[in-house]
C-alpha cells in the first residue's frame, strides 16, 4: 500500500471509531423503548394493558373490577409504561416481571409468565427489559432513593 493510501485508510478507520464512540455516548446503541421494548410490550402485554385498558388513575379506583375484566393499567405508550417504571407506581413493572432473582420470596412476579411461551423466550425478553431499565429495583416510590431513581434509565429513543 502506498503512503497516501495508508493515510486514507487510517482516516477512515479513525472516523468510523469516532462515529461509533459518539453514537454510544448518545445512547443510540443501547437498549431503547422504541427500538427494543415496544415490540415486546405490544406482543406480550397489550392484550390486557392496551389502549382500551384504564389509565393508572382509573385503575386504582376499581382494581378488583378491572382484575375481573382482565384489564391492567394502560401500557400502550412510553409515557403510560413509565408510570409503572419510575412514575406514580414506581417499580411496578420490575416487581411484576422479576423472575424471582430479586424478589424476597424467590418467586417470580405474577406477570413474568406473560413474557413468553417458553422459558427461553421469557428470560430473553426479561433481559432486554432489564437492560433497558438499567438500575433494576423492586422498590416502591416511598422507599426508593434519589440515586436508585437516577439509575433507572429506560430511554425512549
37 binds ligand HEC, rule: CB under 6 A? no
Subset of residues 95 to 114 that bind ligand HEC, contact rule: CB under 6 A: 96-97, 110-111, 114
What are the Cα distances from residue 94, in Å, to 34, 53, 83, 111? 19, 20, 12, 10
Could you tell me which stretch among 11-19, 29-37, 71-79, 135-143 binds ligand HEC (CB under 6 A)?
A: 71-79
- Compute the distance between CA of residue 82 and CA of residue 96 in angstroms, rounded to an integer: 14
- Compute the distance between CA of residue 134 and CA of residue 153 in angstroms, rounded to an integer: 5
Cell triple for 46: 397489550
Of 5 and 95, nearer to ligand HEC (C-beta) is 95
- Least separation in angstroms between residue 29's CB and ligand HEC is 24
- Least separation in angstroms between residue 40's CB and ligand HEC is 7
Reference 154, options 140, 139, 142, 136; nearest CA is: 136
Bridge partners for 129 per DSSP: none
- Least separation in angstroms between residue 149's CB and ligand HEC is 17
Distance of CA 144 to the CA centre of its chain: 18
Where on the chain is the footprint of ligand HEC (CB under 6 A)?
Answer: 44-45, 47-49, 67, 70-73, 84, 89, 92-93, 96-97, 110-111, 114-115
Amino acid at each position: 500500500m502506498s503512503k497516501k493510501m495508508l493515510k486514507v485508510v487510517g482516516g477512515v478507520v479513525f472516523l468510523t471509531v469516532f462515529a461509533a464512540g459518539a453514537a454510544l455516548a448518545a445512547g443510540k446503541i443501547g437498549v431503547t423503548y422504541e427500538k427494543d421494548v415496544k415490540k415486546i410490550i405490544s406482543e406480550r402485554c397489550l392484550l390486557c394493558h392496551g389502549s382500551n385498558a384504564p389509565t393508572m388513575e382509573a385503575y386504582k379506583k376499581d382494581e378488583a373490577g378491572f382484575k375481573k375484566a382482565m384489564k391492567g393499567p394502560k401500557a400502550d405508550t412510553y409515557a403510560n409504561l413509565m408510570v409503572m417504571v419510575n412514575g406514580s407506581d414506581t417499580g411496578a413493572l420490575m416487581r411484576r416481571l422479576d423472575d424471582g432473582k430479586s424478589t424476597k420470596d424467590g418467586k417470580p412476579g405474577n406477570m413474568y409468565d406473560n413474557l413468553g411461551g417458553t422459558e427461553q423466550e421469557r428470560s430473553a425478553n426479561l433481559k432486554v427489559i432489564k437492560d433497558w431499565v438499567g438500575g433494576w429495583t423492586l422498590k416502591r416510590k416511598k422507599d426508593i432513593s434519589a440515586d436508585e431513581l437516577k439509575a433507572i434509565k429506560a430511554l425512549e429513543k
